[in-house]
Each structure stands twice: as structure tokens, then as C-alpha cells.
Structure 1
Amino acid sequence: MSTQPTVLVTDYVARETATELVDRLESALPDGVVERAAIPKETRDLIEDADIVVTNRLSPELLEHAENLRWVHALSSGIDSYPLEALEEREIVLTNSAGIHAQPIAEQVLGYMLMFERGLTESVRQQRRSVWERVSAGELHGQTVGIIGVGAIGERVAELCAAFGMDVLGTKRDLEDVPDAVDEIYAAEDHHEVLARADYVVLACPLTEDTRGLIGERELHVMGRDSVLVNIGRGELADEDALVESLQQGRIRGAGLDVFETEPLPQDSPLWDLSNVIITPHMAGSTPHRFDRWLEILEPNYEAVAEGRLEEMENRVV
């Protein structure tokens, strides 16, 4: 039997994703250490002896079955579906995949912004009706973007926006380390300053008790009629009812939304029918390079666990 730490890929990981991820892990790690659970019962049984879990979520109940667990890796950046206090109490390391989605998400943010600024949403609607009619368009150059949460994703958004000649404002919890592409940085609690000045507001912060409902009716009034909200963080960052009303009443110019309070977005949601909204199905992080980027985190962290160097693990959040 192998003396190396064992890795369990849980059934929370979609079948196709799990198949390729397991193949990659088996090629990168020592023989015989990777196990895959295809159904919930297998996850519950196998987690009892697993040293490491790779998953998309972890319930407190499942954690209770894990007797030898030393490290949990979240395949997403968000960790709101993990029992953080319980992991901390048991001194189990939690790492996330922050940064691996930065490039595709940043490109999608620019896509939303260009669609609004260049009038592409209106042009697409006219194309469907075979209507030839010039559309007024602006430029991103010289506009101001406000990035709420300048982490790995927010930093890449800032870099791409700066390349377009935009003024970049942002909020950050740690003001000691500010990316070069950010022209002005504000503390997280001073986000209203950013909302009041930005033509485009990008929500890129994690979902926490402090950020849940961060954008509500008051904040949407602060943003103003010419501003556009882009949410690629979590749906719960914005009060969806307040957002719908603001969009219907023209209190803000529009919204590019990849995440929602309820997913899939219900068919009766008013958002579907609003002409000033771009909806995508929580796919901004989609990229053909995700497996390579996961392995860039998982492989060195596995070695750190095997050698007892937990303090050196990358992307550690607990």
C-alpha cells in the first residue's frame, strides 16, 4: 500500500471533468494515490480514509466522515460552499483555484463592455429583424471602470481595461499591494466612492457575509443612469429585485450578468426580457486551459503535503 497521501475526487465534480482531471492527476502524482467517487455513497465511503479531497463543494455532514483529511482543494475561486470554521477547527488546509479563471473572465468582462459601448446588442437585435440602421457607438477609451474586489480576476480586468485606455478604480482589502494597472485604490468599505465615479462597475469580490447584497437599491442610485453593472462574482452580491427595478426604470444603463441568485435563471425572471441586459449562463470562467492551471496548483501542493510543508502551500485560504 502506498505511503503517499491519497487523493479523492468527489462526485460533486461533473463526470466528464472528473474523468480528465483524474487522468491528469494519475499522470502527475505517484501511482495508486488517486481515487474517484462517481456517486454520493462512494464519496461518503472513500472520504473516510482520504488525505486529500478535490471537489466543487463540501458539506459539514460529509466532513464528519473524513477521519484522515489534511487538505481540501476547491476547483473554484469561491469558497462559500465550504464549512470554513469546521475546517479551521480541525486544522485542515483549504486551498482554492483563484487565478486560473482570471484571463477568460477578464476577456468576457471586456466583451460585455464592448457590447454596450459599441452598440452591439442593438445591432444583433436589428440583424435578427433584417433591419439596416446605423447605431450610435462610443469608446471605452477615456471611460472609468470601477472594480469591486481587485484580486486575481480583478487585477486582470484592470490590466485589460488599462490597455484600452480606461481609468481604473478599484477596492481591495489589502491596500499594501496594489496592481500597477489600478490608478486609484479604495478600501473595501469605501466602495460607494467607486460606484459614484465609474461608468462600468465590475463585481469581482468573493461572496461573504459582508458582501452579500453589496449592491442594493441605494448603491444603484449612487451609480447613476449612464452606468453599467457587470457581475462575474456571485449572484448574491447584488439584490436582484432592486437590480431589475433599476434596469426597468432606467436608473442604470444596463447590466452584463453571468451569475444569479438562483441558477439556472428561472424562465419567469424579468431579466430575460430586458433589452438592456446581457445574460450568460455562469460560464465566464470557461477555458480549455483549466486542467493545466489546476495542475499548476495541485501538483506542488501535493508535494508540500507529502513532505509536511503545509505553510508553503499555494492559494491557501484556511
Structure 2
Amino acid sequence: MTGNRAGTSVDSSSNPDVLVLRRGTHGMPVEAYAENLRNRLPETTVKVADTPTAERELIHETPIVTGMTFDESLLEHAEKLRLFACAYAGTGHLPLEALADRSVAVTNASGVHGPNIAEHVIGSMLAITRRFHVGERRQRRREWRHYQTHEFQGSTVTVVGLGAIGQAICERLEPFGVERLGIRHSPEKGGPVEEVFGYDDASVYEALSRTDYLVLACPLTEQTRGLIDEDAFDTLPPSTVLVNVARGPVVDTDALVAAIRRNGIRGAALDVTDPEPLPESHPLWTFENVRITPHNSGYTPRYYDRLADVVARNVTTIRETGSYRDLENQVIP
């Protein structure tokens, strides 16, 4: 691989070693991601495709492509593609079968979101526990009047999904003096919790019945879609706080609204919703004990730094071994 800091224009005389697709995330320009890669891989040609035409032309001879998503139509032009490094932790939006059929390895950004989403979850639970929204409302009214709050210590926090994000949440919970329960697809893998449950109904309902704070940090799969439904809300104690940083459809929205209306749970912090974006007329906007953020927990100014670390390590491994197998965060071998 040869050093070249070429920018975004299409240059057929110099094919890139790594191509960055044009779509960025969190309002951050994708060129900043490319620059992070160049800093870590000074002997590697990294280019950004800033138009659909540039993507089609540059991908023709490029072995490694990275980006937020991958349009299946690009495969028609990607004759030399060996690796797609997805810049998201989730890969359900990718044409995985088509990539696998072309023997293209796929990696994801698992671990990139651990610190920032974990901080968002901890902050959400503490804000609802100490009822900061009540204090903010009284401050706006310049009203000095005490109000009752709750205490986090001694409660039970159940985290659904013990991947990189779920584990980061559990590790940061350790000093708060809470009991930590985990629910994951493979409970035998354990985790930084006191007890781990599987996804079978008996296990899930046992964990929910003991829960004060329910944190959803799992991928959206057929197993988790609608996991928190009417039966789940009936099982949760009325004092439970729900925090969802997974995907909106993990929760049955109608069941959530019904639970809030009947005081079936104490409150909710929703960074994701179903539907998303949440329509202006939706009743979830109107509840005082529901805090809504616009799928923002994943934002961090260090996103591209952490992502570039993972991709650069994999590029180095490929250069040293000549193999596209056994890469960090590999989804498709």
C-alpha cells in the first residue's frame, strides 16, 4: 500500500486501498473519519467518495470499503472488494446475503459506542430517580419549593443485551451499589452482572419481576422484536423505570403508552421509538414522566477516533497476514 492523501475527487490513475463512502453520521463530516484513518495508516491510500458517481468509480478496484451503509447496487461495480467495514454496530440494514455470496468479509463498529451510550443510560436513570425534570420546571417558574425524589442505591437494574454496550453499562453501574441482572441470547457467556438470564419466557419474566430499572441495549432481532409487550409491562413492578437505547420495536409502543397511562411504570427514557422519528401528535410527547431524546445517545465527538482505531487495526492485520479472516468485530468471515 502506498501513501497518498488524495481528497475527494475521482482519480482513476490512483486507486485507493481504502474507500470511505460519502454518508456520515451525527452531523460530522465523513472526511474527518478519512483523516483519522490516514493518520493511523500513513502508508495507505484513503479516499472519500463524495458523490454517487465517485462511489461507483472508486469502488471498482478497491479491496476495502468502509461506511455507514452499503447500497447493494454498488456490488455490480465492486470487482475487487474483499472487506466492508461497517461504521455502525448493527448490520441488519446491510445486504449481508449478497455480500456473503460475493465472499466479502464484513466487520462492524462494536465497542465504539460503549462509553457514550453507557453515560447516557446512567444519566437517564439518575435524572429520573432524582426527578430533575421537576426541579427544572420549578426553576423556570422561579419557584423555591421542595419535592420528593427517589434513591438509586439498593435497586435492581436489569440490562437486556450484554454486548459491548450492555457490558459498558454494567461496568459503570458497579460503584452505585445496585444489583445487576443481565438478559442475553447466550447466558452461559456470563457478564459483569450478579445473575444472567436467557430469552426464554420463564427466565425473562423472572428477571422482569425483580426489576426496578430496565435497560434495553440489545440488537433488534426476531427474538427481541416486541420483547417488552403487554405481558412484560404487567410483570414489571409499577416502580420500574424503562430506558431504551436499543431499537424502538423492541418495545410494543401501544403497550408502553397504556402502562404509562395506568401508572404501570414509574417513567421511561427513550432514545429510540417506534415509529421513529416520533410524530408530533404522538401521545408519548405529552407525558411528564417520559424523557425523549432523538436517537442521540450514540453521539460522541470521539466516534470517528474509535471507529478508525478498529478499522486501522484490521487493515494492518490484512497487510501483515494477507488474510481477510479472523478480523476484529468480524460479522461475515
Q: TM-score range by the shorter chain?
A: over 0.9
1:127 corresponds in structure 2 to: 139
Alpha-carbon offset, residue 111 of structure 1 = 0.8
Residue of 92, 96, 111 corresponding to 2:104: 92
Residue of 46, 63, 68 corresponding to 1:34: 46
Distance change (3 Å), C-alpha of 1:209 and 1:68:
farther
Alignment coverage as a number of residue pairs:
317
Q: 1-side partners of 2:267 and 2:128: how far apart?
A: 8
Give yes or no for contact 1:200–1:229 (8 Å, CA) kept in 2. yes
2:8 corresponds in structure 1 to: none
Alpha-carbon offset, residue 4 of structure 1 = 9.2
Are residues 1:9 and 2:23 paired?
no
Residue of 285, 293, 316 corresponding to 1:272: 285
CA deviation map 1:15-72 (0-9, x unaligned): 7431111112222225562121112332233223221111111233333432221111
Are residues 1:235 and 2:235 paired?
no
CA deviation map 1:234-292 (0-9, x unaligned): 11211222212222222211110111223332222211111110111111122222222
Alpha-carbon offset, residue 97 of structure 1 = 1.0
Q: 2-side partners of 1:18 and 1:86: how far apart?
A: 25
Between 241-250 and 153-162, report the one with greater CA deviation: 241-250
Q: Which amino acid aligns with 1:123?
A: G
Residue ranges of structure 1 left out of the alignment (5+ in a row): none
Q: 1-side partners of 2:205 and 2:159: how far apart?
A: 12
Q: Which amino acid aligns with 1:40?
A: P
Q: 2-side partners of 1:207 and 1:146: how far apart?
A: 18
Q: 2-side partners of 1:289 and 1:225: how far apart?
A: 38
Give yes or no for contact 1:118–1:137 (8 Å, CA) kept in 2. yes
Within-5 A mapping of 1:56-205 = 56-179=68-191, 181-189=192-200, 190-205=203-218
Residue of 251, 255, 260 corresponding to 2:273: 260
Alpha-carbon offset, residue 5 of structure 1 = 6.9
**Per the alignment, in what secondary structure is the counterpart of residue 110 of structure 2?**
coil
Q: 2-side partners of 1:40 and 1:210: how far apart?
A: 36
Q: 1-side partners of 2:254 and 2:53: how far apart?
A: 39
Over the aligned positions, Cα root-mean-square deviation in angstroms equals 2.1
Q: 2-side partners of 1:48 and 1:270: how far apart?
A: 49
Q: 1-side partners of 2:204 and 2:35: how far apart?
A: 44
Distance change (3 Å), C-alpha of 1:270 and 1:142:
same
Give yes or no for contact 2:183–2:204 (8 Å, CA) kept in 1. yes
1:312 corresponds in structure 2 to: 326
Q: 1-side partners of 2:98 and 2:235: how far apart?
A: 38
Are residues 1:291 and 2:304 paired?
yes
**Per the alignment, in what secondary structure is the counterpart of residue 298 of structure 2?**
coil
Alpha-carbon offset, residue 106 of structure 1 = 0.9
**Per the alignment, in what secondary structure is the counterpart of residue 311 of structure 1?**
coil
**Per the alignment, in what secondary structure is the counterpart of residue 169 of structure 1?**
strand
Distance change (3 Å), C-alpha of 1:4 and 1:39:
closer
Alpha-carbon offset, residue 201 of structure 1 = 0.5
Give yes or no for contact 1:149–1:188 (8 Å, CA) kept in 2. no
Q: TM-score, normalised by structure 1?
A: 0.92
Alpha-carbon offset, residue 209 of structure 1 = 2.2
Q: 1-side partners of 2:45 and 2:186: how far apart?
A: 38
Are residues 1:222 and 2:235 paired?
yes
Q: Which amino acid aligns with 1:286?
A: Y
Q: Which amino acid aligns with 1:150?
A: L
Q: Percent identity?
A: 39
Give yes or no for contact 2:18–2:44 (8 Å, CA) kept in 1. no
Residue ranges of structure 2 left out of the alignment (5+ in a row): 3-13
Between 293-302 and 9-18, report the one with greater CA deviation: 9-18
Q: TM-score, normalised by structure 2?
A: 0.88
Alpha-carbon offset, residue 316 of structure 1 = 1.0
Q: 2-side partners of 1:42 and 1:217: how far apart?
A: 49
Q: Which amino acid aligns with 1:120?
A: F
Distance change (3 Å), C-alpha of 1:48 and 1:242:
farther
Alpha-carbon offset, residue 133 of structure 1 = 1.8
